[in-house]
Amino acid sequence: MPRRSALIVTLSFWLAGAAHAGPFDHEWCRFETPQFEFVTDVPARRVAQLAERMLVFRQAVQPFIHGDRETQEQRIKVVAFRDAADFRSVLNTPHFTGFMRPSLRQSMLIVSPGPDNQWLTENALHEYTHYLVRNRIDVSIPTWYDEGLASLLSTAKIGRREVVLGNSPLPLIRSALQGDTLTLEQVLGTEVLFELGHAELNDLYLTSWALLHYLSFGSHQTKELEAYLRAEHESLPAALGLTAAELDAQLQRYTNRSRLPRIRLPKPVVH
């Protein structure tokens, strides 16, 4: 159970320029667990649930994150906004719902519940995946892999007895793959997200999501993906023994099925 210390928080210590913002005119609190330090205006019970889900998630998804695991993980600061409008007013970013800021001292996740104030857990798991990915060594982290894996794993459904991975917005994925905003080669070559417009950003997330789903749950080419991430091949298609056009065709066929496969895992026990 988190230890709670009530305080009115001004986040200017962590977020430059936030001291004058209206979102911090009401009560914010700090909740502490051995793994997380939450700074949030989310109710205490909701924070406890989120912390527990993040711990279950961390254990469940480890086999799907490539690279050698660090022997020690940091305690993470999580700044969680209850209202998406507050997040947007402070961060001044209309296209993103969260950020992960890595640090040698203490990494920080900054998350919101998204436009409809319904997706706080999913967005927190998305940013937490970025942290878990960057806590691996001996692999490179291309942008498409970082965002695709975070999108794929963050839709995990955590029930009383099991964790289900692989849930995907198939109609949106098909639309992105069949559109002309970004080609697969452009997605694989993207390095800086902030240079993309809203439509391009959306299609990059969805295409990357589909690609990680296909490699991890469809074709089970995780060894080939691992070799690519360890820089044993110049490109992902080369690692798979394909051209970019052949990989694109396989991805199109994979996402044209009525439903993508899912994986059910026993729910890990956490303390």
Counting other chains too, the contacts that 260-264 makes at CB distance below 8 Å and 24 or more residues apart are: 260/166, 260/168, 260/170, 260/213, 260/217, 260/218, 261/166, 261/217, 261/218, 262/164, 262/165, 262/166, 262/167, 262/217, 263/164, 263/165, 263/166, 263/217, 264/162, 264/163, 264/164
Q: What is the average per-residue pLDDT within 128-153?
A: 94
Per-residue pLDDT averaged across 198-220, rounded? 96
- Assess whether pLDDT exceeds 70 at residue 43: yes
In a 3-state reduction of DSSP, which class is residue 212? Answer: helix
pLDDT digit string, tens, across residues 52-63: 999 999 999 999
Alpha-carbon distance of 236 to 247, in angstroms, equals 9
pLDDT attached to residue 118: 82
Enter the tokens of residue 252: 């199109």
Does the pLDDT value for residue 158 go beyond 90?
yes
Instruction: Write the single-letter amino acid at 141.
Output: I
**More confident position, 143 or 11:** 143
pLDDT of 25: 62
